[in-house]
Amino acid sequence: MLWSKFARRYLLSPKSHSVINIIASISVLSVAAPVAAMIVLLSIFNGLEQTVERMYSSFDADIVITPSRGQTFAMPHDAVTRLEAVEGVEAAAPYLEQMVVVSASGRRTTVTLRGVDSTYISVAPLDEYMVRGEYRLLGERDTATMRRRDVLVAGYGVAAELGMPRLDGDVELYAVNRRQFSSLLPAAGISRLRAALGGVFMVTAGIDRRYVLCDLDAARRLLNYPGRISHMALRLGAGADRERVRSRVETIFGEGYDIRTRDQKNDSLLRIMAYEKRSIFIIAFMVTLVAAFSLVGAVVMLLTDKRRDMATLRALGMTRRYVSRIFVGEGMLITLAGGGAGILAGLALCWAQRRYDLVAIPGATTVGSYPVSIEWADVAATAAAVVVVGYVVSRLTVASVMKRKSRL
């Protein structure tokens, strides 16, 4: 179009005054900086969101089955086989969970004990998050009793509360035996389990301060729940529809069970993270909006510098609306240059962070540096927002100046 050719010539002409070139360059940088910041912030947030999801998946199953009434239920002998036959289910594992008191090195604290069997690691790969020792729940066999020593793994926060006991050191668990507890002889209703500390894991602060894992049979002995479990955990394959699998599992188990996905369990956390991401986008958008007002100075200077050319164009028969398009186009050229440079700079910074771990997270152990994940939908939304802001600011500026100079 003719007006776009005029816009490029006026803005990029080597005959343009140096002051105009400087202001245009500043405007380009003013747009590029917040755009790059928006790309980086959104990518870091995406990375953190995926990291949190991955960490929770290492401990919380994709789908969990619990009894609607009571705390435990008897696991059907073919439950695991039937569940793993459901399309989308890759692994199933039972566990028994209850609050207990843990004691070591003269210190004690209240924790949630989760008794699991050897299949649990296929549902929740907690072994990837061990920071001390190793993931193991059974020790060497005692030659006198022919029983293997009970071993547990604890969250980092729990271990810190207990003074960080040495590995393979004794840890004692205490639980109320509800079937034998009496207010007259309370000590007789307390069950005790002595185990060795096999390792310490670090997932999230909330999990690390709360959980201790031991062998399922040991938990049943301590809690006096022979042959019973409190949860059945399922891990789904990649791309599996959680809601569809949940509905299929409901038909297998029937009534009397609550079947929830991890998203339902962590619904509050997911909502908060969604709100935070929207807030980040809105704040970055407002910064971009403020920065885009640097366009006002550039466009006003161009209008002032080219007032004689505008008079000539009007004399040649061009309408005021057509002339205004030329200067709106100049504002859009600055916007597109700044937006494009900002997007490229943001993508380059994200690549550098992912490649070289430039910025570390202070005090982090499991995640050393800020993770980044570029989502092209965010890049497209950022580009669209910049184009809209640039167009609106340029259009309003040109209309305001030309209205004041109506003689042109």
Query: Would you call 397 exposed, middle or buried from its count of C-beta atoms within 10 A (0-12, 13-18, 19+)?
Result: buried
Burial class (CB in 10 A: 0-12, 13-18, 19+), 128: middle
pLDDT tens for 3-56 read 455 445 555 555 555 567 777 888 889 889 989 988 998 999 898 888 877 777
Q: How far is CA 23 from CA 194, 325, 334, 384, in A?
A: 74, 20, 10, 24
- In angstroms, what CA-CA distances link 341 with 39, 294, 320? 12, 16, 32
The 10s digit of each residue's pLDDT in 108-142 is 999 999 999 999 999 999 998 999 999 999 877 66
| Spans of all domains in the chain | 2-55+270-404, 61-265
Q: How far, in Å, CA of 351 to CA of 400, rounded?
A: 42
pLDDT in tens, 78-118: 888 889 999 999 999 999 999 999 999 889 999 999 999 99
Residue 321 neighbours by CB distance under 10 Å: 10
311 confidence band (pLDDT: 50, 70, 90): low
Q: Which amino acid is at 152?
A: L
Neighbours of 188 (CB within 10 A): 10
Read off the amino acid at residue 340: G
* Cα–Cα distance measured from residue 93 to residue 120, given in angstroms and rounded to the nearest whole number: 5
